[in-house]
Amino acid sequence: MHILEKFRMPCAWRGSAKQISVDAVIPLFAVPALAVIAAQTLFCTIIIFVTTPVLVHYLHHNFLRFLLRTKFFFVWTIVSVIMLMLVFEITVVPLLEILPEENLVFIICVVGGIWCGYLTRLKADRMTQNAGQGLELGEGSGELCLICRRRTPPRAYHCRTCQTCILGREYHCKWLDCCIGSSNLRWYLACLLFSAIAFIYGSNLTMTSVCHPFILIATVLLPDDCSDVYYQLDIALCFVSAIYSLLVGLVLVCYLIYHLWLIYLGTTSNERRNLPPSSHYGESVLKSLSPIFCCKV
């Protein structure tokens, strides 16, 4: 038994059947703590943003991947979204640098992203339930899955985490804790689009509020001088949140472009992974990044 599995003593939530495990609790404390440490000095910011992806990858590679289904990444997503929203609405908006309509556009994109993420998970749950109840051994028209021990429809692939075959499987997204397949791909793409806009736009609004901005075109501002953000902890937290949002937003844009490219090619990332190496054009960057961001490409 793995060391983290020993600590994974489910403690019953009073009066409910919900269980909580240690690996899912870590991000509740780690994300806000890392943000506060990063907000101390520029040196701390750089160290935290460089070491955190490496540490999360180390944790995933050595501990989390041995757990059957960890909520670590999903809780990380929820805590990050709540933290960034709170920092924006409690600290950035009262600075009165942001117009009400700019805040409204930001909130619409955040709500759109959360709603599409929720639908992605809902459709994934239905997909795994249907797969579990539907096809019995020998049914279906495709190849025999040796793990499920049943015939599955064409273009269905097995997910070890969901423990079933998923139609049009792309990969298991750890950050949403569900499989991405043909039934929820459109909601996943909408989630990526809304979230990417919300993260990048929120980052820009925050940066231009806490740093000295300059006018790019009309009402479009860019941050200019951010040298004095570390004098106040709340302003430094806004600055750190803005960098975090920008980085996450850019990663989401990469994933969105990657999926649109796969749709254009008429394939899925699961199928491309099974192709010979010579047929992988332009995927080397995403492939090398994917272990860090823990989405199995």
Site for Zn ion, rule CB under 5 A: 145, 147-148, 158-159, 161-162, 165, 172, 179
The smaller minimum CB distance to Zn ion, of residues 110 and 165, is found at: 165
- Least distance CB 171 / Zn ion (angstroms): 8
Helix axes 233-265, 284-293, angle to 10 degrees: 130
Q: Are 49 and 243 in contact (CB under 8 A)?
A: yes
In angstroms, rounded to a whole number, what is the distance separating the alpha carbons of residues 208 and 222? 6
- Least distance CB 296 / Zn ion (angstroms): 9
Query: What letter would DSSP give residue 295?
Result: B
The smaller minimum CB distance to Zn ion, of residues 44 and 155, is found at: 155
Beta bridge partners of 215: 221
- Least distance CB 128 / Zn ion (angstroms): 8
The smaller minimum CB distance to Zn ion, of residues 161 and 267, is found at: 161
In angstroms, rounded to a whole number, what is the distance separating the alpha carbons of residues 208 and 98? 9
The residue assigned the tokens 């793409």 is: 189
- The CA–CA distances, whole Å, from 256 to 31, 76, 123, 187 equal 25, 20, 19, 12
Beta bridge partners of 12: 19
Tokens of 7: 């600590």
The smaller minimum CB distance to Zn ion, of residues 158 and 186, is found at: 158
The smaller minimum CB distance to Zn ion, of residues 87 and 148, is found at: 148
- Least distance CB 74 / Zn ion (angstroms): 12
- Least distance CB 57 / Zn ion (angstroms): 20
